[in-house]
């Protein structure tokens, strides 16, 4: 795997297309959840991607560093392509996202909006629930901090 972190303006059109396609495959089609993926937040985010030997994006996460408006970092849109699931790539993706945020702001909290069925996955990285379960796009979620 090859790993990269890009600002929005550093993404090529081909990379952006691959990211949007993969996010729609996972979140809209697989999870049968119609929602607006192009939510206007991509331009403020960093984009962590893993590519295979053919240059195809197979793992992705959106990362937000803490700033003046938000005292915590965030990780979202965490996904792996169906062809690499159960390979440990999702764990490596999360660890890389956490490591990046900890390098950038060592004292800052990191937050995720976790789908409830993935609570144990996020807990294994030290995340703890900080509020009640809620529905986001008809999928149960829990906000978690680390």
Q: What are 55-82's pLDDT values in tens digits?
A: 999 999 999 999 888 899 999 999 999 8
Mean pLDDT, residues 15-43: 91
Task: Quickly count helices (H) and strands (E) in the chain.
Answer: 3, 8
Alpha-carbon gap, residue 37 to 45, rounded angstroms: 14
HSE (side-chain half, CA atoms, 13 Å) at 120: 1
Mean pLDDT, residues 110-133: 95
Distant-in-sequence contacts of 55-59, Cβ < 8 A, 24+ apart: 56/18, 56/81, 57/15, 57/18, 57/19, 57/22, 57/81, 58/1, 58/83, 58/84, 58/89, 59/1, 59/84, 59/89, 59/90, 59/92, 59/93
- Number of other CB atoms surrounding residue 20 within 10 Å: 13
Q: How confident is the model at residue 33 (pLDDT cuts 50, 70, 90)?
A: confident
pLDDT recorded at residue 96: 98
Alpha-carbon gap, residue 55 to 53, rounded angstroms: 5
Least confident of 30-34, 90-94, 125-129: 30-34
- Number of other CB atoms surrounding residue 65 within 10 Å: 16
Domain architecture of the chain: domains with CATH: 2-145 (3.40.630.30)
pLDDT in tens, 47-58: 999 999 999 999
- Number of other CB atoms surrounding residue 43 within 10 Å: 8
pLDDT in tens, 79-97: 999 889 889 999 999 999 9
Alpha-carbon gap, residue 142 to 8, rounded angstroms: 27
């Amino acid at each position: 795997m090859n790993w990269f972190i890009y600002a929005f303006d550093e993404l090529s059109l081909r990379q952006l297309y691959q990211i949007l396609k993969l996010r729609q495959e996972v979140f809209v089609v697989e999870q049968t959840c119609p929602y607006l993926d192009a939510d206007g937040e991509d331009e403020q985010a960093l984009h962590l991607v893993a590519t295979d030997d053919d240059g195809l994006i197979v793992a992705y996460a959106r990362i937000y560093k803490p700033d003046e408006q938000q005292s915590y970092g965030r990780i979202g849109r965490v996904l792996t392509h169906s062809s690499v699931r159960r390979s440990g790539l999702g764990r490596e993706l999360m660890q890389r996202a956490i490591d990046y945020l900890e390098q950038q702001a060592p004292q800052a909290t990191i937050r995720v909006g976790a789908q409830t069925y993935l609570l144990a996955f996020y807990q294994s990285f030290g995340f703890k629930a900080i509020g009640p379960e809620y529905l986001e796009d008809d999928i149960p979620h829990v906000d978690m901090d680390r």
